[in-house]
Structure formats: C-alpha cells, structure tokens
Amino acid sequence: MDVKGKDEIVQLNGNHSECLTKKRQDYLEWPEYFMAVAFLSAQRSKDPNSQVGACIVNQENKIVGIGYNGMPNGCDDDLLPWSRSADNKLDTKYPYVCHAELNAIMNKNSADVKGCSIYVALFPCNECAKLIIQAGIKDVIYLSDKYHDTPEMTASRRLLNLAGVTYKQFKPKQGRIVIDFNSINHSDLKSTNGFANVQSP
Ligand SMILES: [Zn+2]
C-alpha cells in the first residue's frame, strides 16, 4: 500500500517505548485512516493490472461502505477476461468489471449514503461519477488522477461540477503506512494496560 509522499513511515502499533503516560501523537488522522482503508480493500482485488479501493464515510466519520474492483457477484472471475486490450472488446475486462465506487455504494450498511464523502485511490470515471451523484454523495477525496486527460475523466468532472459534488486530491502526510501483525507482541502491554505500575503494599 505505497502512496506517493514523504519517505517517512508510520508503523501501526509500532514503537510504544516512549511517552507511555501521554496520549500518542503519531496516531492516524481521519483522512489517512479512510484512505488507508480504501487501499487495504484494494488488496482484495483480483485484477492483475489495477487494484482500486473505495471507502464511504458519513458526517460522523463512520465508515458506511467499502468496495474494490472486481467481477459481479456470482460471476466466476476465473471465467471472465482480465486483459486491458484485445481484438474483441468482449475479451477485455471492461464490459464486466465493477469499479470500487459501485461496490462501495452497493455494499453500504446504512439506509443510504446521502451527504457522505467517498475516499478513492483513483479519480472516479464518468460511470462512477453518475453513481456517486445519484447516491447523494457530496464529496470525493481521491489520491491519483493519472487518467486526468481521458474522455472518461473529463466527462466525470463535468458531471460532478454540474451536480455540485466537490472533489479534492488527498495529499498524504506520510508516504507509507505499514501494518505489522507482529507489533502486538512487541508492544509493552504491561505498561499500557494500567496495572503494571501498581505496587503491593
Ligand atoms: Zn469507475
């Protein structure tokens, strides 16, 4: 889950050896957290060329939908093509694959996503812009805009602008976020559970 930015690395659940009596200062802020959830979700994608994730957040900073790009439910992704180009368009992934934004909206665990924000790794295409608008999402936070000059993205911006959906590029404060499952064993739990310093009389 590399993102472009500074070379600094945040190690989640990492170094607890200092300042154990004060609140952590290097905790993840909300935007980093939501974008990281989108990137983590993208790791579920089977697409060999492009792994994209999306995370929908309501106005209380609660996650209400997560999705990544993949073939529709029940459609065997071993039987559908994953290539980007072929003589026949039916032999490419494009007619079949569901984008992350579509899946995040369809996976919502709330009644609706009106007024929500969506965090996405890539600027949404025009088809996803339609879904975002119709779902009532009001804000798009994207990381990469590498297809900016394509007709799909141009049409997307046109639609989002007309519908009053705001969009802004996410600038991560750190270039990488590392999830280390071993860190829980390295943490000084005796010092952080509140009991370690209790002395017997
Ligand atoms: Zn799309």
Q: Which residue out of 8, 18, 29, 101 is catalytically annotated?
A: 101
Whole-angstrom distance, CA of residue 111 vs CA of residue 149: 35
> Is residue 60 in some structural domain?
yes
29 is catalytic: no
What is the pTM (predicted TM-score) of this model? Answer: 0.83
Instruction: Specify the CATH number for the domain of residue 122.
Output: 3.40.140.10
Condensed to tens digits (0 to 9), the pLDDT of residues 72-121 reads 999 999 999 999 999 999 999 999 999 999 999 999 999 999 999 999 99
> Is residue 84 in some structural domain?
yes
How many structural domains compose the chain? Answer: 1
> Is residue 11 in some structural domain?
no
> Is residue 180 in some structural domain?
no
Range of the domain at 79: 30-169
- Torsion angle of C-alpha atoms 8, 12, 16, 22, degrees rounded to 10: 90
How many CB atoms are closer than 10 A to CB 86?
12
> Is residue 107 in some structural domain?
yes
> Is residue 38 in some structural domain?
yes
Whole-angstrom distance, CA of residue 49 vs CA of residue 82: 8
More confident residue, 176 or 21: 176
> Is residue 55 in some structural domain?
yes
- pLDDT higher than 60, residue 184: yes
Beta bridge partners of 36: none
Å from CA of 131 to ligand 1 middle:
9
> Is residue 92 in some structural domain?
yes
Reported confidence tier of residue 187, pLDDT bands at 50, 70, 90: low
User: Which residue is associated with the tokens 């295409």?
Assistant: 125
- pLDDT higher than 60, residue 167: yes
